[in-house]
Amino acid sequence: MPKKVKAGGQARVTLAHFGKILNAMVAEPRQVDVPLLYAPPGVGKTESVEGWINDRNQLAVDGRSRDPRDGNWRCLPLVLSQYDPTELKGFPYVDSKGEFRFSPLHTFPLEGPAVIFFDELGTSNKEVQNVVLRLFSQMELGDYNLPPNVFMVAASNHHSDAGVFVHKLSTAMKTRFVTYFVDVKFEVWKKWAMKNDVDPSIVYFLEHNQEFLIDINPDQDSMPCPRTWVNLSHQMQRMKHLGYRDMRSLYPEMVGRVGGAAAGAYQNYLEIYSKVDVDGILKDGRYPQNIGSQTGDFAVMGAMVGTLKNPDYKVNSGMCKNFIGCVNKMKREYAVCLVGDLMKNTDFLETLRKSLKGTAERKHYESLLTDYVKLLKKDDA
């Protein structure tokens, strides 16, 4: 839930909660007000709107939706700074009756369900902002009228954010919106990152070093933020596919995306992460020497989840003793986190349980999981 704020404060929400705001926005076929999301660069404003569209459509695919619009939602991004006022209002012409008309911009949808996403709103100049004022308040612009089941959402960097080049919105523009500021919370980003296949080594490095999740510095050419970490993950996957395995060959890719300080710390983590032998742990009971330390446990967590996300990984009952031995050697708080992440992101725990049917180890294994699930629920409470 959003935080309670004092008078003069800001309505602060997480990106996860913003999806609930969008659900409320489309509860009726006509838009009542327009949400504006302020956040620093690279935290996932665009992805949050696109992800909401995908989630709503997936509800229909899964048969879990009662809304006939689900399955057909479209997201139409629009960066106002790329248009001039005439384009937005519509090119003037005289119709067959001799009346002066405006030809609407073809980007605006004529039917729904759709969301017009005004991205990077603050980069638009005052002339453009003045033209679209009527669209945000009266739901019309020139001869264009917002159809039923077509909704508008806006996002922007705030003029007070470090290193951004945006125009301060006029008071008239501000009053057209319901304004929210994003709280960047690691746990929210982690959930999104695991769902979207961000390299687990990046996720667990950042869990151990959350100061590097976002550090916007206008004096640096490369800097860490959710966007650049995701870009690095994609580049690492491409280079591994091409056969690059030496971490030293990846270092320029790291620096070029997240900057020297974050890249140096991440490479040091990778040196430890890459030495975690998940097969050795689960099949042979060979545990890393540094297990039980903070750095070692984070490396084990990342490597374990990264390996066991693969649905083709072969699981057998012989792994039970070694898995229990592994979590018992870890610090309790990290073992709880590992069990929780395995439950959320892999089938390993359930597959191992099934493989233990009829064995003496099953009772011990299920007792262990029961204890950890209780601790997880206690932590979430």
CATH number of the domain at 12-184, please?
3.40.50.300
How far apart (Å, rounded) are the C-alpha atoms in residues 141 and 86?
Answer: 11
pLDDT value for 99: 81
3-state SS, residue 100: strand
pLDDT mean values, one per 10 residues, the chain (381 residues):
56 88 95 91 86 94 94 93 82 80 78 94 87 90 90 85 66 90 88 90 94 88 93 91 75 94 94 93 95 94 94 93 94 93 94 92 89 78 53
pLDDT of residue 7: 44
- Cβ burial, residue 61 (10 Å; 0-12/13-18/19+): exposed
Q: What confidence score (pLDDT) does residue 113 get?
A: 97
**pLDDT for position 162:** 47
- CA gap 118, 86 in Å, rounded: 17
- What tokens does 229 get? 């970490």
Q: Where are the domains of the chain?
A: 12-184, 187-380
Q: How far is Cα 3 from Cα 17, in angstroms, rounded to an integer? A: 11
Burial degree of 245 (CB within 10 A; 0-12, 13-18, 19+): exposed
pTM of the model: 0.78
Length of the chain measured in residues? 381
Sign of the C-alpha dihedral computed for residues 19, 24, 26 and 30 taken in this order:
negative
Q: What are phi and psi of 57, to 5 degrees?
A: -70, -35
Q: Which helix (H) or strand (E) holds 295?
A: helix 294-308
